[in-house]
């Protein structure tokens, strides 16, 4: 692993006591995406919710290190080493879900939970995902934030990611929109998706769960994820691509049962 990655300091939120649990967000998001479930998880675990390099308020990757799911997983692994976190459980959503599975493939985590993980798409589904995310990024950069105070605008802005936009806190959606608009690692990471394949077979136990109403990574991709993992994928009923806001209790329960 790169020495420059080992020296990186990622932004993170730490809460709770107990066995360590690392939370990893998706592309264009930030650690605050886990806020709906954070205190539920912290009641039973020491939780570290991290901002990936080039996202949230974490610094960008060092020069000459490309933005790929693998290099971002390296950064999470280095983060754990820097803080002396040994064999944590890890949970991730979307790109973060892929990173969780990648760390399980390396055998460096005790267990991994992946919520609608990236990487199990067909070629057409990949192109659709990239197109939708580019459109969301463009919208985040052009939409005046105050318009998100309007319920109908919030529904349009977040309907691709959540099944129940009305449950989103407007302030949280504004912050997430800013994170998406400003993330310097977004474009290169999104381009790297073109070469993203499922990780090697896991060396640590994994749990995969998919939003019933996922409109970004369509739920039929769960069939491929089940084939890869050799086990049935859990269905998150009533949830979209980012399920933490749709049903915090369900998501927290699945993570704690598996972490």
Alpha carbons 229 and 218: distance in angstroms, whole number: 18
Taking 70 as the pLDDT cut, the residues of the chain under it are: 1-4, 7
User: What pLDDT, on the 0 to 100 scale, is given for residue 152?
Assistant: 86
User: What pLDDT, on the 0 to 100 scale, is given for residue 169?
Assistant: 87
User: What pLDDT, on the 0 to 100 scale, is given for residue 147?
Assistant: 86
- 3-258 sits in which CATH class? alpha beta
Which pLDDT tens digit goes with each residue over 7-39? 689 999 999 999 999 999 999 999 999 999 999
User: What pLDDT, on the 0 to 100 scale, is given for residue 245?
Assistant: 93
CA 57: distance to chain centroid? 16
Alpha carbons 239 and 39: distance in angstroms, whole number: 20
Q: Is the dihedral of CA 153, 157, 160, 162 positive or negative?
A: negative
Structure tokens at 236: 């998150």
Mind giving me the DSSP string for 56-94? TTSPPPPTT----HHHHHHHHHHHHHHHT--S-EEEEET
Alpha carbons 160 and 240: distance in angstroms, whole number: 8
Which pLDDT tens digit goes with each residue over 175-192? 999 999 999 999 999 999
Q: What is the pTM of this model?
A: 0.96
């Amino acid at each position: 692993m790169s020495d420059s990655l080992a020296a990186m300091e990622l932004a993170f939120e730490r809460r709770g006591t107990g066995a360590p649990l690392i939370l990893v967000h998706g592309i264009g998001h930030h650690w605050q995406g886990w806020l709906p479930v954070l205190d539920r998880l912290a009641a039973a675990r020491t939780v570290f919710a991290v901002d990936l390099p080039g996202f949230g308020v974490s610094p960008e990757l060092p020069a000459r290190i490309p933005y790929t799911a693998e290099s971002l997983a390296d950064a999470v692994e280095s983060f754990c080493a820097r803080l002396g976190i040994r064999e944590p459980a890890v949970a991730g959503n979307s790109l973060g879900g892929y990173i969780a599975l990648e760390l399980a493939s390396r055998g460096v985590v005790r267990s991994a939970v992946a919520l609608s993980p990236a990487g199990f798409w067909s070629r057409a589904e990949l192109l659709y995902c990239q197109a939708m995310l580019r459109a969301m990024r463009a919208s985040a950069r052009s939409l005046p934030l105050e318009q998100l105070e309007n319920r109908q605008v919030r529904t349009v802005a977040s309907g691709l990611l959540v099944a129940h936009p009305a449950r989103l806190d407007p302030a949280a959606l504004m912050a997430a929109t800013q994170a998406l608009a400003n993330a310097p690692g977004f474009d290169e990471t999104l381009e790297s998706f073109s070469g993203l394949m499922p990780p090697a077979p896991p060396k640590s136990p994994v749990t995969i769960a998919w939003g019933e109403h996922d409109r970004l990574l369509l739920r039929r991709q769960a069939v491929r994820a089940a084939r890869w993992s050799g086990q049935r994928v859990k269905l998150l009923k009533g949830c979209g691509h980012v399920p933490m806001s749709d049903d915090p209790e369900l998501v927290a329960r699945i993570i704690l049962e598996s972490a």
